[in-house]
Each structure stands twice: as C-alpha cells, then as structure tokens.
C-alpha cells in the first residue's frame, strides 16, 4: 500500500481542524520555523481511505481472538467509552477552580475507594501513565519510606527470575541493585533461596501472583513474611490481577504496595489503542509518600491534595490519564462486586478449558491446573520437526487469531503463553483450540507449511533483524 507521503499532492488542502478559538501568540524571534513542515497534502477522502486501509491490516480485539499472555486483551465494553465521552469529563480543564470540578474529583475518589477495596490497599494514585511507570512509582514509594526512617543501608530489591523484565528495570531506575532468585520446579518462589537472599540490605521484593507461568504461589503468606521480617516491603505487580480480582486481595497476602494496569484488568484499551494507566496503590504506612496532586474528600467537598512533606514527587503532569480512570470506574460499577469476581473465575475457567483441550497435542510447561493463562513449550517440537514457537504463532495468524505471547517467560524454552480472558465465548475458545490442533497436526505432516506461515497476510514475515539493526525512522523526500 502507499504511504501517506506518497498520496501527497502539492497545495491540496482540507479543513478538518476547527478555527482556533484562543488568542494566538508569537514565538520569540529566532525560535520559530522559517519554512512550513513538509506534511503530506491530501484531501479528506484520501485520508479517510488511507487510515481505513491501515486499520484493515491490523488485528485488534474488535477483529478477533487475541490471547496475548500476560497482556489481558479482554474486550473493552463500549459503555466505558460513552461514560468517558460525557461532556462533564471532556470539556473541563485541569487548571479550572476546584469548586467547578467536583464531579471529576468525586470520580477519582470513588475509583480509588473501589480499587482499594478490590486490592486490599488503603490509598491510590492515578498519576502513573502506564504499567512500568506504576512499577517505578511503587519502588519509589518503598525507597521514600526507607529513607524517611534514615534506613539507608537497604540497597537491594529481590526479583524472581520469572518476573516481567520491567521489574528489574524499574528497581534499577530507582537506584537499587537487583538480586535475581531462581524459581523452583513449579515456577514458584524457592523459599530457601529467598531466605538466603534477604538481609538488612533488602529494600523489598517484587512479585507477580499468579506468577508469569500462570501459577498461584501457595506460599505467598510465608514469602511476604520472610521479607517483612528482614525489614523489607512487598511490592505486587498487578499484571495478573485478572485471575484473582474479587477472590483474594494482594493486601491480605502481605503486600504493601501494588500497581494496577487499568488498561489490562479494568478493560480500558491498550496495545496501541491506549493510553494506559498504571495506578499505584499502597497500605497507609506509604500513603504520605504518594505522588501529588491527589483527589481527596474533605467533609462533603472534594479537593486536590497538592502538598505533603514526604511525597516523593510528581510522576506526570496533573492527575494522570484521567479519562482512562473513568473507563475503569465504569467497568467496576457495571460489573459490581459479584461481577468482578465472576470475571476472574471465568478467566481462570477459560484458560483451564483451553489448556485441557490442548494438553494431548502440546507440551504444557507446568501441567496441572493453571490460573488465567498457561504456558506451552515447543522445545521438543523444535528439535523433532524444526517447528518453533515463532512458527506456531505465525501460523495462527492464518486462522485469524492474534499470536500468543512468545519466548516469555524466559525460564521456559520456546514458550507460547496463552491468556484467553473471560470475555471470549466457548465457541471462540473451541475455534482457537481447533486452529492450534490443526497446526499441531500440520507440524507432523507438513512442517514446511508451518515454518513458512503466514500465507494469507499482505506480507509474510517482516525482516525483524534488519528492522532492528537499521530501522528507517523517517520518510525521505
């Protein structure tokens, strides 16, 4: 297809943008451009067709099954969008007087109350813009806590080797040294290794539960206790909260701080459709350190808390991605307490159903029951037939299914990680199972067809290595 630059015709114009309704200011001399940007010049009809053509090349939750493990690509109900499009939320400005923002502030306070109820936390900030930003905020809370006590010898954060890569990165960015501990054969925390790793230099532990192999760590109370007894704090990565929301609470498992991906668990768009929201929640001992400003209730009024001596600072301008929080709030209110629990239960049921239906033709990395996702290993298939996890993933595209997460977690070789989510019907799960069984059969009978997939897309396999080594980042006129 043509690039938008290739559709450009000199002096063609359109009037999509509204008239500017505020006073224009002039940039200081020497700072303004002297010639216009070389933007493509196209008519409205051509623009519309261009983006429709691009959209047809993409695959989203609205197109079909999207079992991207660890990403919780659930369907995002349209009612969320309707609520977020209400004028009272869209036609306001963050700098307008607080007395005129009471509804928006109330929505933030209510979101905090409900999400704290679900997670067992005491307070929450919606400032972080996405998951890793929320993780970083969580670790900064732990750091601010230790520093406020003059406890400066705590320089290490413990992270299991099954963790999301963002965990060690966040700890590192906050200035901590990362101690990686190996998992046991069930993919869970090795208690003895944890005991050996903690000490008076332990600032905290970062953990995902259920973990990245889709297993709930049954020793969680002992794990968090070991860290607490060493003087550290426990951080919960909310990536996999979808498996347990409304059933068990991280706060009751001994966690002091969590981040949530509102754009995963609470059904706001993500994966290019964002923006995200990495809300960070904490127990009251960490509340004074939360980033500000934060909406609070004061008597029968809502206001913004803008100052606190101990706050570690600001994560983002204003109050985070506000409309994303409104979408998440709509989701929680729509489902209610029972619905939230049911969503988690069905997410777990769906994953177990698919895992069970595939167990005789794909090798499961951790057989038995899973939580909301399961991990298959193609290691032996690769040895025997030369068909890798990548090949199976590419072949699924021909079946109209988005590939699962590949090559993660790193502790499983040739991993494919499948997370169906609760929003998929049994018919969709059955179709996906049939597609995967079909690919398994093809692997044995006609491996070459799998290795050369996909066959139905405009381009088959992009040269990822070339794209990474010498990317083209701009159009050359």
The residues of the shown chain that bind other proteins, judged by CB under 8 A, are 165, 406-408, 410, 464-465, 468-469
For other proteins, give the closer residue by CB, 160 or 291. 160
Report in angstroms how near the CB of residue 376 gets to other proteins at its nearest: 16
For other proteins, give the closer residue by CB, 89 or 407. 407
> What letter would DSSP give residue 149?
T
Report in angstroms how near the CB of residue 433 gets to other proteins at its nearest: 26
Report in angstroms how near the CB of residue 406 gets to other proteins at its nearest: 8
- Residue 45 CA: distances (Å) to CA of 4, 39, 49, 57, 170: 12, 17, 6, 19, 45
Confirm if 290 and 311 have CB atoms less than 8 A apart.
Answer: yes
Report in angstroms how near the CB of residue 386 gets to other proteins at its nearest: 14
> What letter would DSSP give residue 68?
B
Report in angstroms how near the CB of residue 325 gets to other proteins at its nearest: 32
One-character DSSP codes across 191-217: HHHHHHH-STTEEEEEE-SS-TTS---
For other proteins, give the closer residue by CB, 191 or 410. 410
Report in angstroms how near the CB of residue 468 gets to other proteins at its nearest: 4
- List the one residue out of 202, 204, 226, 206 whose CA is nearest residue 154: 202
Neighbours of 278 (CB within 10 A): 29
Helices (H) and strands (E) in the chain, counts: 15, 12
Confirm if 326 and 107 have CB atoms less than 8 A apart.
Answer: yes
Before 20, cis peptide (omega within 30)? no
Report in angstroms how near the CB of residue 451 gets to other proteins at its nearest: 15
Beta strand 280-282 with 257-259 is antiparallel
3-state secondary structure of 148: helix
Dist CA 208 CA 244 (whole Å): 12
Report in angstroms how near the CB of residue 452 gets to other proteins at its nearest: 18
Dist CA 323 CA 208 (whole Å): 27
For other proteins, give the closer residue by CB, 125 or 167. 167
For other proteins, give the closer residue by CB, 94 or 165. 165
- Residue 121 CA: distances (Å) to CA of 112, 113, 185, 294, 452: 9, 9, 31, 16, 49
For other proteins, give the closer residue by CB, 335 or 390. 390
Dist CA 354 CA 376 (whole Å): 11
Dist CA 120 CA 258 (whole Å): 10
Neighbours of 11 (CB within 10 A): 5
Report in angstroms how near the CB of residue 387 gets to other proteins at its nearest: 16
Report in angstroms how near the CB of residue 34 gets to other proteins at its nearest: 35
Instruction: Count CA atoms within 13 Å of residue 333 on its CB side.
Output: 14
For other proteins, give the closer residue by CB, 389 or 433. 389
For other proteins, give the closer residue by CB, 126 or 408. 408
Dist CA 275 CA 323 (whole Å): 9
Dist CA 234 CA 253 (whole Å): 10
Dist CA 60 CA 74 (whole Å): 10
Report in angstroms how near the CB of residue 169 gets to other proteins at its nearest: 10
> What letter would DSSP give residue 252?
G
Contacting residues for 289 by C-beta, under 8 A, at least 6 apart: 140, 141, 144, 145, 148, 282, 310, 311, 312
Q: Where do the DSSP E strands lie in 330-387?
A: 374-377
For other proteins, give the closer residue by CB, 33 or 469. 469
For other proteins, give the closer residue by CB, 105 or 393. 393
For other proteins, give the closer residue by CB, 81 or 201. 201
Report in angstroms how near the CB of residue 379 gets to other proteins at its nearest: 10
């Amino acid at each position: 297809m043509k690039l938008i630059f290739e559709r450009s015709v000199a002096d063609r114009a359109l009037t999509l943008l509204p008239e500017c309704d505020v006073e224009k200011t002039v940039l200081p001399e020497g700072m303004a451009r002297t010639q216009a940007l070389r933007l493509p010049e196209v008519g409205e009809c051509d623009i519309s067709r261009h983006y429709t053509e691009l959209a047809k090349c993409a695959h989203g939750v609205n197109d079909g099954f999207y079992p991207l493990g660890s990403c919780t690509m659930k369907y995002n109900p349209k009612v969320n969008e309707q609520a977020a499009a209400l004028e009272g939320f869209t036609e306001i400005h963050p700098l307008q007087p607080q007395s005129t923002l009471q509804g928006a502030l109330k929505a933030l306070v209510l979101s905090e109350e409900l999400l704290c109820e679900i997670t067992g936390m005491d307070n929450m900030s919606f400032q972080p813009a996405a998951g890793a930003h929320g993780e970083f905020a969580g670790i900064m809370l732990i750091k601010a806590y230790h520093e406020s006590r003059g406890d400066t010898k705590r320089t290490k954060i413990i992270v299991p080797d099954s963790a999301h890569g963002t965990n060690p990165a966040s700890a590192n960015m906050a200035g901590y040294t990362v101690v990686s501990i190996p998992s046991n054969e069930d993919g869970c925390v090795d208690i003895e290794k944890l005991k050996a790793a903690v000490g008076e230099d332990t600032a905290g532990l970062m953990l995902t539960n259920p973990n990245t192999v889709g297993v709930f760590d049954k020793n969680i109370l002992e794990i968090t206790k070991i860290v607490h007894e060493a003087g550290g704090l426990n951080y919960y990565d909310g990536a996999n909260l979808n498996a347990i929301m409304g059933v068990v609470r991280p706060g009751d498992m001994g966690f002091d701080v969590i981040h949530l991906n509102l754009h995963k668990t609470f059904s706001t768009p993500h994966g290019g459709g964002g923006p995200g929201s990495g809300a960070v929640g904490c127990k009251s001992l960490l509340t004074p350190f939360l980033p500000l400003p934060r909406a609070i209730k004061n008597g029968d009024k809502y206001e913004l808390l803008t100052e606190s001596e101990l706050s570690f600072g600001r994560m983002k301008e204003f109050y985070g991605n506000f409309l994303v929080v409104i979408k998440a709030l709509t989701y929680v209110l729509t489902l209610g307490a029972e619905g939230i629990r049911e969503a988690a239960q069905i997410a777990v049921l769906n994953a177990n159903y698919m895992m069970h239906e595939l167990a005789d033709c794909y090798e499961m990395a951790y057989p038995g029951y899973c939580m909301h996702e399961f991990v298959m290993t193609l290691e032996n298939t690769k040895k025997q037939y030369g068909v890798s996890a990548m090949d199976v993933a590419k072949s699924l595209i021909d079946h109209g299914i988005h590939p699962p997460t590949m090559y993660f977690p790193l502790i499983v070789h040739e991993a494919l990680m499948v997370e169906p989510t609760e929003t998929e019907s049994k018919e969709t799960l059955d179709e996906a199972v049939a597609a995967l069984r079909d690919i398994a059969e093809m692997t044995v009978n006609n491996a070459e067809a799998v290795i050369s997939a996909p066959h139905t897309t405009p381009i088959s396999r992009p040269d990822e290595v070339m794209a990474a080594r010498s990317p083209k980042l701009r159009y050359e006129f």
